[in-house]
A and B are shown apart, each in its own frame.
Chain A
Amino acid sequence: MELPKHYTAIKNMTKATCTLEAEGVGNEELALVGGRLAQVVKIIDREVTLQVFGGTEGLFTDAETVFLGKAPTLHVGDDLIGRFFNGYGAPIDGGPELMGKETEIGGPTVNPVRRKQPFQLIATGIAGIDLNNTLVAGQKIPFFANSDQPYNEVMATVALRAEADKIILGGMGLTNDDYLYFKQLFEEEGVLDKIVGFVNTTDNPPLERLLVPDMALTAAEYFSIQKNENVLVLLTDMTLYADALSIVSNRMDQIPSKDSMPGSLYSDLARIYEKAAQFPEGGSITIIAVTTLSEGDITHAIPDNTGYITEGQLFLRKDAEVGRVIVDPFRSLSRLKQLVIGKQTREDHPQVMNAAVRLYADAANARTKLENGFDLTDYDKRALDFAKEYARTILSIDVQLDTHSMLEQTWTLFSKYFSVEELGIKATFTDQYYTD
């Protein structure tokens, strides 16, 4: 075997990258620069540019560079279970090194014709999700949240209730507090036997985040394809991931695209999210991500590109009328819900869902009227009362109900506040469920 070549003359250095002359180097190959892990991002003739994951601070131009002849890998196997790793796949929990099969991360994606159409409903007990935005195994969906919202808590609740075989946490730029929150919660709930964590905290260099999603998904593919398990991948926070991408492209003097993001942002995000799939042998990968917004701005390149890739998005909002956090029924959407609602749930589910949201919108209009000092009609008043009760007893994320009870409860409110005509629901359903 050829011995790896050593180089000791770095020509250029930025905060995130370094360039040196080398031969026989492959694109995207890993290297150690002065002991720090780095990856080839550009080759021009003999000039090789590397992104140094840990940053170049304190690196000298005579640092020793060794090319490893391979792209980043993860050792996959059952010994992943219950463990926490950093962005390189090395243990951070004090446990032993991984012994499984070494697998390249960021591998090829599933042939679309081999995918199966998602069909397994994921129940969370949260009506804002199960009733209005039902999730399906194999789906990819982010929470769009402002930084002050309890997105990690909600995501953890969803993960724990979802009855997945494995939960894989990909933490990017997590605060140490949040990392410990996840870890303790999983321990307390006694689910460590189905958790794998890849965590880059704010204590770590930002570029290490770039490896986290691929690590998490490589582990997910092991359990979903080799073991036919239903795997839930939690990625938080994808905005910080995208920020790391823009750091590298900026240091490489690439012309920035919209919002200073690299021109390839859409492709970069799609490569990750499209790993969500329902596999023919029964396993599945579902991705629930968090994309933090700046003051709710969804026109920014990160949420905007994300929205076009993912199968919907979930917004959290505090309903001021009842003082509870709800999943916003207007802006949230699960694109795959049609595959299961009214099929795996009761037949009236789609129409009840739409009617309730429409009536909730009527209440919002009535509130505007009220704020502008206009008199309310009898209908407006009823809509407002309905909205309050709907938010408090059904939508609020601390309410836990099964879908059947959600539907029953909604019909109770419909019957209490509205006439049949005001519902605009198919007569076959109102005949059956509406009570005078």
Chain B
Amino acid sequence: MKTRGVIKGIIANLLLVEAENAVGQNEICMIEHQGTELMGEVIKIAGKTAYVQVFDSTRGLRVGTEVVFTGSLLEVTLGPGMLSKNYDGLQNDLAEIDGLFLDRGARSRALDPKAEWHFHPAVKAEEKVIAGSWLGHVDEHGIQHQIMAPFDLEGEWIIESVVEAGTYQADSVLARLRKGDEQREVNMIQRWPVKLALHRFKDKPRPSRLLETGVRTIDSLNPMLEGGVGFIPGPFGSGKTVLQHAISKQAEADIVIVAACGERANEVVEIFKEFPELDDPHTGKKLMDRTIIIANTSNMPVAAREASVYTAMTLGEYYRQMGLRVLLLADSTSRWAQALREMSNRLEDLPGPDAFPMDLTAIISNFYARAGRVELHNGSYGSITFIGTVSPAGGNLKEPVTESTKKATRCFYALAQRRADSKRYPAIDPILSYSKYLEYPEFQAYAAEHISNHYVDAIQEMKNLLQRGGESNDQINILGDDGVPLAYHVHFWRAELIDFVILQQDAFDQIDAMTPMARQMEMLDLVLDICRRDLPFEHFEEVSSFFKGLINDCKQLNYTAYQTEDYATRKAAIETIVRERAEPVNA
């Protein structure tokens, strides 16, 4: 018997509901209003009053309206067919909702239970399974989508029977399990509450493998690892979204989940339009085939915005359970934090810093902790790499969301307004930003084996050069071009060379947008070789004109297709210019 209640109060999207029987924290309830069902979630209970935040507009709702509590928490539906879907924050399939507008209470199924999939069993009767064991797989857009034993199983179960290979509907029974007298039927679809981490793995070691993104200022300066966590704070207009799109298009991942959390609809439309047309650089198929988009745009209800990041994370965890590499991007987690703030404000909680809820840091850390690379019980590895963007008010990095996120993450990609102003894109500040993974011995060992034996050293060297260049620039600005030794100009221009050739990248140029690791290493060696040389100069203007020419040549090289004749010619020309400068003919 489901608990019922009646509305006693309405304040914006918060309802005060008097419940007849027991209600649960975060329990979902339905409100019938003029023929449509509105959905809400219990977020606070005081005596007989449940505080319900509604995932829809409350316009026209009246006191006295009946509320039915469902007995379950906010859940997602998991199964084959999710890839290439565009969901809202509550996992409604947006394409399945009729009409131009998203009318109130409009809902659609996340998955089609009648869709047919070809199932290949991997287990036999009498085998033992536990929650999350792979029972067999179906092919979902070229991905081996594992059908898994229900995640809520406790202890070991025995397979009573399993169907033969063949085509089945998603909701047809594929296997029967037993444990003592208990019986369970398994089909392709499961449900899982979004706020509960899906922990069905053996171990979660520290990340150690590079997640190649093709973005030079990340891969060659502050690398992100498979299963790593990072974030991108930046004022508006500093290129957060372009950078996130670049990463989602190019990163070496099996599955990409983009959570547009409170973002601009036109930017989401850009993903909708571009991804189905873009080729996946890794498989040659369309990018959309391995992508799920959670489009909870800024105008959608605030409660659904709060849920959207959890929905995205849960879908990510589901694919991770299949031993896949998932890349999860959330743009922007500040909108999520603001949703938390808005709700806490409605509940009249005493505000914490900047009016955010007191437990903001805990909520953020807890969420980021759901990412990681894990070893499954069958020995396979799966990972969720999570990169969130943060939109700090006025670009001030000392605000609560940035600070809390900094504590929870290992990579910090700070976007600088100054760089954006002078169109130095991506505007990731090379001095402020960091990747703590560079200090991990397990990553250093991996890099030496798989990238280059001097990769980590080269990065360190480059960071030093950049810092020295910045310091020299400060001195030049204080003392004037004439007031500093010539060497300061050389330091400054070496840093500019690195900046223009390695760090800056044209996200809208077909070739420059994505640089494979081997090419990055080659450019790194080329640029460092120039920086290491003690080039003779007479006057500071000579320094700048030499380096400007060189930067232009190197930029043209970046625009040239890799390993072509043209590329080789250009590279050789650069090397000749540098050699001739180092050893003048008349010397």
Contact = CB atoms under 8 A, between A and B. Distances in A.
Contacts of B500: 424
A375 B334 CA distance: 46
A293 to B, nearest CB: 11
A71 B342 contact: no
Contacts of A340: none
Which of B12, B302, B559 has the most chain A CB atoms inside 10 A of its CB?
B12
A422 B500 CA distance: 13
B94 A112 contact: yes
Given A27-B59, A28-B60, A42-B10, A270 B262 contact: yes
B371 to A, nearest CB: 24
Contacts of B12: 41, 264
B202 to A, nearest CB: 39
B393 A109 contact: no
A106 B101 CA distance: 12
A375 B481 contact: yes
B58 A28 contact: yes
Contact of A274 (B58, B299, B332, B480): B299
B9 interface: yes
A374 B395 CA distance: 32
A114 B265 CA distance: 11
Nearest to A22: B63
B103 interface: yes
A44 B9 contact: yes
B237 A117 contact: no
B83 to A, nearest CB: 16
Given A45-B9, A112-B295, A117-B269, A267 B342 contact: yes
Nearest to B273: A117
B355 A255 contact: yes
Interface string B548-565: 110110011001000000
Nearest to B347: A255
Interface string B54-65: 000111111110
Contact of A258 (B9, B266, B269, B393): B393
Contact of B10 (A43, A107, A267): A43
A267 B344 CA distance: 14
B60 A71 contact: yes
Nearest to B332: A308
A54 interface: no
A41 B299 CA distance: 19
A338 to B, nearest CB: 6
Interface string A11-36: 00000000000011111110000000
Given A112-B265, A267-B302, A274-B299, A298 B394 contact: yes
A271 B102 CA distance: 13
Nearest to B16: A44
Given A117-B273, A375-B481, A422 B548 contact: yes
Interface residues of B, number: 81
Interface in B1-32: 8-12, 16
A368 B299 CA distance: 43
Contacts of A262: 345
Contact of B102 (A109, A256, A277, A372): A109
Nearest to B33: A26
Contacts of A112: 86, 94, 265, 268-269, 272, 295, 297
Interface in B271-298: 272-273, 295, 297-298
Interface stretch (A183-191, A328-336, A383-391): A328-336
Given A43-B63, A301-B393, A358-B422, A333 B9 contact: no
Contacts of A111: 94, 97, 99-102
Contacts of A307: 235-237
Interface in B297-315: 297-300, 302
A277 B101 CA distance: 12
B341 interface: yes
Nearest to A43: B10
Contacts of B579: none
B62 A24 contact: yes
A371 to B, nearest CB: 12
Interface stretch (A149-157, A158-166, A309-317, A392-400): A309-317
A175 interface: no
Interface string A91-123: 000000000000000111111111111100000
A263 interface: yes
Interface residues of A, number: 88
A338 B58 contact: no
Contacts of A71: 59-60
Interface string B86-102: 10000000110101111
A358 B549 contact: no
Given A107-B101, A427-B556, A27 B10 contact: yes
B544 A379 contact: yes
B541 interface: yes
B49 to A, nearest CB: 11
B266 A311 contact: yes
A32 to B, nearest CB: 18
B236 A118 contact: no
Nearest to B98: A111
Contacts of A339: 270
B144 interface: no
B17 to A, nearest CB: 12
A267 B266 CA distance: 17
Nearest to A113: B94
Nearest to B541: A377
Contacts of A254: 345
Given A26-B62, A44-B9, A308-B391, A361 B421 contact: yes
Contacts of B302: 264, 267
Contacts of B10: 27, 42-43
Going nearest first, the 6 A-B pairs with the smallest beta carbon separation are A299-B394, A263-B345, A274-B299, A270-B298, A374-B480, A307-B236
Interface of A: 23-29, 41-46, 71, 106-118, 138-139, 225, 254-258, 262-264, 266-267, 270-271, 273-277, 279-280, 298-301, 304, 307-313, 330-331, 333, 335-336, 338-339, 350, 354, 357-358, 361, 368-369, 372-375, 377-379, 420-422, 424, 426-427
Given A264-B12, A274-B265, 17 more contacts: A24-B62, A41-B12, A45-B8, A108-B102, A108-B103, A109-B101, A111-B99, A111-B101, A111-B102, A263-B341, A263-B346, A264-B342, A279-B100, A299-B393, A304-B394, A313-B236, A421-B552
20 contacts: A26-B60, A26-B61, A43-B62, A108-B57, A110-B100, A112-B86, A113-B295, A271-B299, A299-B394, A299-B396, A301-B393, A309-B264, A311-B266, A311-B267, A330-B421, A350-B508, A354-B423, A368-B477, A372-B480, A379-B541
